[in-house]
Amino acid sequence: MNGLAIFLLPLALVLGRLASQPDGKIYLQNPSFEDTPRASACPAGWASYTNGSTPDIMPGAWDVQIPPQEGRSCVALVTREDGTCEDISQRLPQPLKPGTCYTFRIYLAHAVQYVGYNHPARLRIWGGAGRSKQQLLASSMLIDHEGWKEYKFQFVPNHTMRYITFEAFFAPGAMFRYRGNIVLDNCSPIERCDRA
Domains of the chain by residue range: 26-192
Which DSSP letter does residue 78 get?
Answer: E
Quick: pLDDT tens for 145-185: 999 999 999 999 999 999 999 999 999 999 999 999 999 99
Pick the CATH number of 26-192 from 2.60.120.260, 3.30.2080.10, 3.90.1010.10, 1.10.620.20: 2.60.120.260
Q: Quote the CA–CA distance of 121 and 119 in Å, as a whole number.
A: 7
Q: Quote the CA–CA distance of 125 and 140 in Å, as a whole number.
A: 9
Quick: pLDDT tens for 4-42: 444 443 443 333 333 333 688 999 999 999 999 999 999
Contact between 181 and 76 under an 8 Å Cβ cutoff? The reply is yes
At residue 21, the pLDDT reads 39
What's the count of helices (H) and strands (E) in the chain, helices before strands?
Answer: 1, 11
pTM of the predicted structure, to 2 decimals: 0.87
Of 68, 48, 61, which Cα lies nearest the Cα of 109? Answer: 68
